[in-house]
Amino acid sequence: MADEARINAVVSDIVDGVRAALFKHDVTFDEYRVALAFLLDAFEKNDVPLLMDVFFNTTIVKIEGKLMGGSKPSLEGPYYLENAAVVTDRLPMRDEDQHHTAMQLRGRVTGMDGRPLARATIDVWHSTPEGRYSGIHDGIPPHYYRGKIVTDADGRYNVRSIMPIPYQIPNEGPTGALLTAMGRHSWRPAHVHYKISAPGMHTHISQAYFEGGAYVEDDCCEDVCEEHVVAEKVEDGVRIVEVDFVIPKATEKAQAA
């Protein structure tokens, strides 16, 4: 059931914040009409989900991270597919991509008590070397560059793939036009997505970024935080992406809140 007092408090504060910005910048009636036309255009072109993702999704993710505790979460993004296959030692890739720089995804999953999470499922997915996603773009079969890793008895995972690259979010619609009008770009730094699930545990969503990579300091979705930037480390020509995760129980949220 809707909580009338909470809805009123949140919406009133949002309205107050917008009004304060309008006063601060002496926004004119002509500019007000442009904003209204923009919103109508965004609705008409089904661009509102992207608009919200670019400006507010990260905020909600940060709030959830604060309430849950454990490792900081990230955006899930629109390119997760539910039914990826279980993989053991490497993510499937196209034959022609074998020569790209290899990366090794490894680390450990534990609970808040420090105990290993055995047989947790880690969905991993990342872009192709062209910055696209399998099963989403241009007929790239859905099984490439994604898979479900199952942690061992010590909570560890270890799988090989190739490096993703930066890519642009869809920018041909009203949201892209707005970013351009603001003098901003639509690039995301190269990253790997993770979604970790285990019975009784909170489903944890994260991304890993590469130290020194393009757009790490200037992600259009403002998702990058220091904890998610993996330090440069290479072993035998393979980029090591070592990320540990601390996952709260599903019931721990209420306690944290």
Chain position carrying tokens 């109508």: 40
Strands 191-197 and 204-210: antiparallel
Minimal distance, residue 193 CB to Fe ion, in Å = 6
Question: Smaller CB distance to Fe ion: residue 117 or 205?
Answer: 205
Chain position carrying tokens 């942690």: 151
Minimal distance, residue 167 CB to Fe ion, in Å = 7
- Cβ(157)–Cβ(241) under 8 Å? no
Q: Which two tokens stand for residue 188?
A: 């995301």
Minimal distance, residue 19 CB to Fe ion, in Å = 35
If you count DSSP H runs as helices and E runs as strands, how many of each does the chain have, helices first?
6, 12
Minimal distance, residue 154 CB to Fe ion, in Å = 29
77 touches Fe ion (CB under 5 A): yes
Q: Which stretch binds Fe ion (CB under 5 A): 27-35, 63-71, 74-82, 229-237?
A: 74-82
249 DSSP β-pair partners: 201
Question: Smaller CB distance to Fe ion: residue 110 or 187?
Answer: 187
**Site pattern 158..197 for Fe ion (x: CB under 5 A):** ----------------------------------------
- Cβ(221)–Cβ(78) under 8 Å? no
110 DSSP β-pair partners: 116, 246
Q: What span, in angstroms and rounded, lies between the C-alpha atoms of 242 and 65?
A: 21
Question: Smaller CB distance to Fe ion: residue 136 or 177?
Answer: 136
Minimal distance, residue 192 CB to Fe ion, in Å = 8
Question: Smaller CB distance to Fe ion: residue 77 or 176?
Answer: 77
Where along the sequence are the contacts to Fe ion (CB under 5 A)? 77
